[in-house]
Amino acid sequence: MHDLQFADGVLARIHARGGKRYDERAYLFVLAGIEYLQSRLDVRRHVSGAELAWACRDLALERFGLLARQVLGCWGITTTADLGQIVFALVTIELLSTQSGDKEDDFTDVYAFDSAFDATYEMRWAGDE
C-alpha cells in the first residue's frame, strides 16, 4: 500500500454510504489482502470471509511484523468483523461483488486479534529461507 490510493471520488462514495469508521488505508489493505490471497491460489476464484480474514492476518504480519495489530488498530481494524464491514462497504459501492449466500457475518469471530497476531508471530532473519 506504499503508493496505493483511491481514485478521486471512491472514498467519498464510501463515506456517503456511511463508511466513515475506517481510515482509507484500511480499505486499501483489504483490497491488497484479496490480491495477496488470490496470488497464492492455483486459480483465481471467489474466496470466503474466513479465507480473506486469515489472508489479511498473514499479509499484516508479513508487512508490519510485530506491529501488525497496532497498525491495523490505527486504521480502525480491531476484529475480523471489521474486515467484513470494509468488504461490504466496498460491495455497496460496487468495487467488489458477492455471491449468493455471502454475508457480513462470515467475517465475525474468525479469530481473536490478540492471539492471532501476538502469539503466532515468527521472527525471521535475512537469510532464513
Could you state, in order of their start, the residue ranges of all structural domains in the chain? 22-118
pLDDT of res. 117: 85
* Tens-digit pLDDT string for the chain (129 aa): 445 455 667 777 777 776 568 888 999 999 999 999 999 999 999 999 999 999 999 999 999 998 999 999 999 999 999 999 999 999 988 889 999 999 999 999 999 988 888 766 566 666 665
- For cell 468488504, the residue is 87
Fill in the DSSP letter of residue 23.
-
**Closest of 30, 39, 31 to residue 77, by C-alpha:** 30
pTM for the full predicted model? 0.84
pLDDT of res. 1: 43
pLDDT of res. 123: 63
